[in-house]
Amino acid sequence: MHLLKMSDLNQSDIERIIQTAERFKSNSDCEKHQGFIANLFFEPSTRTKLSFEMAEKRSGYQTIDFLTESSSVQKGESLYDTVKTVESLGVSAIVIRHPKDRYYKELEESVQVPIINAGDGKGEHPSQCLLDLYTIYEEFGRFNGLNILISGDILHSRVARSNALTLQRLGANITVSGPSFWQDAELGIPYAPIDEVIHKCDVLILLRIQEERHDLKEEQRDYLTSYGLTPEREQQMKTESIIMHPAPVNRGVEIASELVECQRSRIFTQMNNGVYIRMAIIHELLQGGVTNESITKKCSII
């Protein structure tokens, strides 16, 4: 079993992963396993890479790091051959981030150990989506009926795609916002200017400008005023609503710097939750899901 995109998971799978993450977060003395997990990152990463490493080590696995600049990729080795080489060395699972959309298509039938997609180009980012779901569930205890606004560079964001489609499937009301030239019509999600919907959202998920994926660069000072979260817009939000961001955060661009750690911000909570969700993903793929009989609480996510 691989985790490549959010559609690989049904509602029961998502519920089980959240439930397992909840257990790991409340009990630091979790079970330890033996084996090796390889982290193949072909793009820069701070949070995803480090939290996977932390999750692997806390679960007892040893980590195998991969650096493209010192690998045979520099000699022309293909992704397929790199992954098959790592699999042949005896790892238990492989975590991959790659700039190519749906890079996993050439791997999913041939690679026998679990592949965890840590981001494919402009495609999806399932582990980020799951940690966002966990953060929202921790706050509200449900998804059904929540008003969620995703704002920013929608067109180039794998986070936007994974989150919008999954949250919609779970019963949330999704709206996207941001510059019209960065909207993604294929998503089929309603668009609205941020000032028209900021006052009624329960969750605001901000996205950064992904300059590495396009040539068009918006003037940064104009972006915050026109599309970002200013202190004035934050004051219009409901008392119980929260702010989220997958990071890295461009302070003063998509969000005013003083709001990054304000009372309603859950940005660093997301990062903390990322370790437990990734522990849960690894547990689900390698240990067959939640088996601890001490879990009696039913996690109703809709």
Query: Residues 244, 245, 248, CA angle at the centre, nearest 5°?
Result: 155
pLDDT at 216: 52
pLDDT band at residue 298 using 50, 70 and 90 as cut-offs: very low
User: For residue 295, is pLDDT > 70?
Assistant: no
The model's pTM: 0.90
- pLDDT of 55 > 50? The answer is yes
Cα–Cα dist 121/47, whole Å: 17
Residues 246 and 276 in one domain: no
What domain range includes position 214?
127-269
In a domain, 193, yes or no: yes
Structure tokens at 219: 């003037």
Percent of the chain with pLDDT over 70: 90
* Count of domains observed in the chain: 2
CA distance 204 to 150: 6
Per-residue pLDDT for 214 more than 60? no
- Between CA 302 and CA 145 the distance in angstroms is 8
pLDDT band, very low/low/confident/very high, at 264 (cuts 50, 70, 90)? very high
Using alpha carbons, select from 106, 63, 64 the residue that is nearest to residue 84: 106
Nearest to 245 by CA among 141, 157, 138: 157
> Bigger pLDDT: 70 or 155?
155
| Assigned domain for 207 exists | yes
- The answer to whether position 300 is within a domain reads no
pLDDT at 67: 79
pLDDT greater than 90 at residue 8: yes
Residue 298 forms part of a structural domain: no
Closest CA to 187 of 210, 167, 201: 167
Q: How far apart are CA 206 and CA 152, in angstroms?
A: 6
Q: Residue 44 — very low, low, confident or very high, per pLDDT cuts 50/70/90? A: confident
Report the alpha-carbon distance of residue 283 to residue 280 in Å, rounded: 5
- Kindly state whether residue 295 falls inside one of the protein's structural domains: no
When pLDDT is averaged across residues 3-12 and rounded to a whole number, the result is 95
